[in-house]
Amino acid sequence: MYTWNQTNKPDFILMGLTDNKEIQLVLSVLFLLIYLATVLGNTGMILIIRLDIQLHTPMYFFLTHLSFLDLSYSTAITPKTLESLLTANNTISYTDCFTQLYIFILLAATECFLLSSMAYDRYIAICNPLQYPVIMSSQCCLALLTGSYVIGAVDSSVTVFGMSNLHFCKSNIIHHFYCDTSPLLSLSCSDTHVVEIIIFIFAGSTILGSLITISVSYVSILSTILKINSTSGKQKAFSTCASHLLGVTVFYSSLIFTYLKPSKSYSLGKDQVASIFYTIVIPMLNPLIYSLRNKEVKSAVVRLVKKRQESRKLR
């Protein structure tokens, strides 16, 4: 039996994904490859957008920060997971555990509202194109971005503060591969009802609030697109939204499955699969979704390559 108090806060033990050594080796190689692809993909996306002046638009401004968020919260989870798989070092200190939880909630909540901002940007671009440069000014973009980070910080601060005041005495073993709310709540011997309600309200408000904004934006976008007479015009309008809509669908489906339910319905196997998807896989997929389906990004890559080749010739 383990008891936490203000002076005694021993390490947690992350049980990870499996005890099978062969599966651990396979997973470690797979996760390492995915993480490297995540780092290269998101860093590459940021550099391409920063270096190509034609991509200095509101949509790509938000996409730069989406890549930063994906890179950051994958980094908050994956390296420790790899360490556990490769070295069998499953311990994580009390402070590190709650720090990891805080960073993850901060970045995930911020991404929810950043995706809402991107949907609003597409709504203005398609439904009110003449006013687009005025409405989506640099000040507006910065305000939307700052608001996303502020809401994410409030969400994570309230959640982590509530959980850090709980007493943990059942065990120090976390049945998960990183520090998350449901596995931690299951270790507490305190009354967790109030904390669970707070987490549910904040998580629900974050996910549903941003999802409603996205849904309303896309209903308006769809309505506008259907009024376009030209087939090529419809295809062009759809193409500007397809990548974002795909990214939103993948991200929110796994997030809703995991967090918008009571902690008592926590299922180790199903929740771990969903968690792997949105903490490790999705950060790798987003650069692919937004680049492979985006002609402007492809053109930017070609321009940068040509520019580099020309500079080498001049030398």
The pLDDT assigned to 267 comes to 54
The pLDDT assigned to 290 comes to 80
Nearest to 165 by CA among 2, 9, 1: 9
Owner of token pair 């809402």 = 116
What value, to the nearest 5°, has the Cα angle with vertex 70 and ends 165 and 197? 30
The structural architecture, per CATH, of the domain 12-314 is Up-down Bundle (1.20)
The pLDDT assigned to 264 comes to 55
Residue 2 has pLDDT above 50, yes or no: no
pLDDT band (50, 70, 90) for residue 313:
low
Measured CA to CA, the distance from residue 199 to residue 225 in angstroms comes to 38
pLDDT band (50, 70, 90) for residue 186:
confident
Measured CA to CA, the distance from residue 179 to residue 201 in angstroms comes to 20
Q: How do residues 201-220 score in pLDDT, each as one tens digit?
A: 888 888 889 999 999 999 99
Q: How do residues 94-134 score in pLDDT, each as one tens digit?
A: 899 999 999 999 999 999 999 999 999 999 999 998 999 99
State the chain's mean pLDDT as an integer: 85
- Per the model's pLDDT, the better-predicted residue between 303 and 145 turns out to be 145
Measured CA to CA, the distance from residue 228 to residue 220 in angstroms comes to 13
Q: 176 near 97, Cβ under 8 Å?
A: no
Q: What are phi and psi of 232, to 5 degrees?
A: -65, -35
Nearest to 183 by CA among 92, 249, 253: 92
DSSP conformation letters of 34-45: HHHHHHHHHHHH
The pLDDT assigned to 262 comes to 55
The pLDDT assigned to 65 comes to 95
> Using CB atoms within 10 A of its CB, is residue 124 exposed (0-12), middle (13-18) or buried (19+)?
buried
For residues 252-268, b (16+ Cβ closer than 10 Å) or e, as one string? bebbbbbbeeebeebee
pLDDT band (50, 70, 90) for residue 171:
confident
Measured CA to CA, the distance from residue 10 to residue 94 in angstroms comes to 6
| CA-based R_g, the chain, Å | 22
The pLDDT assigned to 292 comes to 63
Residue 59 has pLDDT above 60, yes or no: yes
Q: How do residues 286-307 score in pLDDT, each as one tens digit?
A: 888 887 666 777 777 778 777 7
Segment 190-208 shows an average pLDDT of 88
What's the sign of the alpha-carbon dihedral 116, 122, 127, 131?
positive
Helix (H) or strand (E) holding 76: helix 58-87
Nearest to 66 by CA among 247, 252, 250, 301: 247
Sheet holding 12-14, edge to edge: 91-92, 12-14, 173-174
pTM, whole model, 2 decimals?
A: 0.87
DSSP symbol at 170: S
What value, to the nearest 5°, has the Cα angle with vertex 15 and ends 11 and 18? 160
Strands 173-174 and 91-92: unpaired
DSSP conformation letters of 171-224: -SEESSSS--HHHHHTTB-S--HHHHHHHHHHHHHHHHHHHHHHHHHHHHHHHH
The pLDDT assigned to 5 comes to 47
